[in-house]
């Protein structure tokens, strides 16, 4: 780690809530980084002392215990305030970083000077874990050429403090705050550059049922926030509901995953786990559909209320 007289070049920010099953491996992998001039900030809002006890074995880590439960992006915003440097690297306490992870992210940042999304691989190689990974992280599979991506996942995301401040930081109230942040950056003309060789391995410990529940919830969040941010009217919402409940978008999402696996040269994983992939994407779309339906009902109620108010004013 960097000495007190030489500020770190990078601040690595990690939120944690009862992550004791995986956090030690994460911190150990940071100790193995080929690039050494960085600080690690661990923001913990656990109810137990398990993470605090792990942090004691890593004196180089700046440990911050929150007074109340924080959602992940709330914790990241706290970490930004505590960070000593202007280059911020976000990740999660359930990853194992490759030894050259930070070095490769910094090389990509030096070439573009913009926001960098890194690659995410699966730590486990079981059938279910590989399928879960493809259903959740197909946009950021390792391999292929450097390119831009529409969304940067906060499990592997590097940007400057100035760029983060430009869009108001993460929305700490939302579980997909990284998606909202990505939308804001892109709308302001900031491309999200993908570094396919800056890899973290994600530790998947979900069951199949947990995958479906999580994908449904995140799909619902995505639909609600997208419709709100773009102020969709009844016709736009209805059109999106129709293409979502029919298999058109499911086929498109499965095709996207196939293309990502082709680019990453892991088609064996796709063909071996496609039922899990399809189920995960289907759960996401089911979550979206529920939100589009609720928005239609809300728009109808608002329209009827407006007509009643108009009639009453005319009377």
The mean pLDDT values, 10 residues at a time, for the chain of 315 residues are 54 98 98 97 97 98 97 98 97 98 96 95 97 98 97 98 97 97 97 98 97 98 97 96 95 98 98 98 98 96 76 68
- Residue ending a domain, among 205, 220, 253, is 205
Range of the domain at 247: 209-308
Claim to verify: residue 28 and residue 127 sit in the same structural domain: yes
Q: What is the CATH number for 187?
A: 3.90.550.10
Claim to verify: residue 273 and residue 223 sit in the same structural domain: yes
Those residues with Cβ within 8 angstroms of residue 206's Cβ, 6 or more apart along the chain or in another chain: 132, 214
- Residue ending a domain, among 148, 174, 205, is 205
Claim to verify: residue 39 and residue 147 sit in the same structural domain: yes
Instruction: Give me the DSSP letters along 23-58.
Output: HHHHHHHHHT-S---EEEEEEE--SSSHHHHHHTT-
Claim to verify: residue 68 and residue 200 sit in the same structural domain: yes
Question: Rounded CA gap, 223 and 225, in Å?
Answer: 6
Q: Where are the beta strands (DSSP E) in 69-209?
A: 87-91, 95-97, 115-122, 147-148, 156-160, 192-202
- The reported pLDDT for the residue numbered 312 is 73
- For 161-167, the CB contacts below 8 A with 24+ separation are 161/80, 161/83, 161/85, 161/86, 161/87, 161/88, 162/86, 163/114, 163/115, 163/190, 164/80, 164/88, 166/190
- The reported pLDDT for the residue numbered 8 is 57
Say if 315 falls within a structural domain.
no
Claim to verify: residue 127 and residue 252 sit in the same structural domain: no
Say if 170 falls within a structural domain.
yes
Claim to verify: residue 187 and residue 200 sit in the same structural domain: yes
Claim to verify: residue 195 and residue 170 sit in the same structural domain: yes
Given a contact cutoff of 8 angstroms between Cβ atoms, the answer to whether 86 and 161 are in contact is: yes
Question: Rounded CA gap, 171 and 177, in Å?
Answer: 5
For the chain, what is the domain count? 2
Question: Rounded CA gap, 162 and 134, in Å?
Answer: 33
Say if 4 falls within a structural domain.
no
Given a contact cutoff of 8 angstroms between Cβ atoms, the answer to whether 217 and 171 are in contact is: no
Compute CA distances 203 → 9, 26, 59, 96, 124, whole Å: 27, 10, 24, 7, 7
What element of type H or E holds 288? helix 267-314
- The reported pLDDT for the residue numbered 2 is 37
Question: Rounded CA gap, 155 and 129, in Å?
Answer: 17
pTM (two decimals): 0.94
- Residue ending a domain, among 179, 205, 231, is 205
Claim to verify: residue 102 and residue 221 sit in the same structural domain: no
């Amino acid at each position: 780690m960097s000495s007190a007289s030489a500020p770190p070049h990078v601040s690595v920010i990690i939120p944690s809530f009862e992550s004791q099953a995986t956090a030690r491996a994460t911190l150990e992998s940071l100790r193995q980084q080929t690039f050494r001039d960085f600080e690690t900030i661990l923001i913990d809002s656990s109810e137990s002392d398990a993470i605090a006890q792990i942090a004691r074995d890593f004196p180089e880590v700046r440990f911050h215990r929150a007074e109340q439960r924080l959602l992940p992006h709330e914790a990241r915003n706290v970490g930004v305030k505590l960070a000593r440097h202007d280059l911020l690297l976000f990740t999660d306490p359930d990853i194992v970083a490759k030894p050259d992870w930070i070095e490769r992210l910094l090389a990509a940042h030096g070439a573009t000077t913009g926001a960098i999304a890194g690659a995410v691989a699966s730590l486990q190689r079981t059938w279910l874990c590989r399928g879960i990974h493809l259903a959740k992280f197909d946009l950021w599979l390792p391999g292929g050429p450097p390119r831009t991506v529409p969304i940067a996942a906060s499990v592997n995301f590097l940007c400057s403090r100035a760029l983060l401040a430009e869009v108001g930081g993460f929305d700490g109230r939302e579980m997909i705050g990284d998606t909202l942040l990505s939308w804001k950056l892109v709308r302001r003309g900031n491309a999200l550059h993908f570094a396919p060789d800056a890899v973290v391995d994600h530790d998947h410990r979900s069951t199949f049922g947990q995958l479906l529940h999580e994908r449904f919830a995140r799909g619902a969040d995505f639909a609600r926030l997208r419709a709100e941010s773009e102020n969709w009217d009844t016709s736009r919402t209805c059109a999106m509901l129709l293409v979502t409940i029919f298999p058109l978008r499911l086929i498109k999402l499965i095709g996207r995953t196939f293309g990502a696996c082709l680019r990453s040269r892991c088609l064996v994983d796709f063909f071996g786990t496609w039922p899990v992939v399809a189920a995960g994407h289907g759960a996401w779309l089911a979550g979206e559909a529920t939100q589009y339906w609720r928005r239609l009902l809300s728009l109808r109620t608002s329209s009827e209320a407006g007509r009643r108010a108009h009639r009453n004013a005319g009377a």
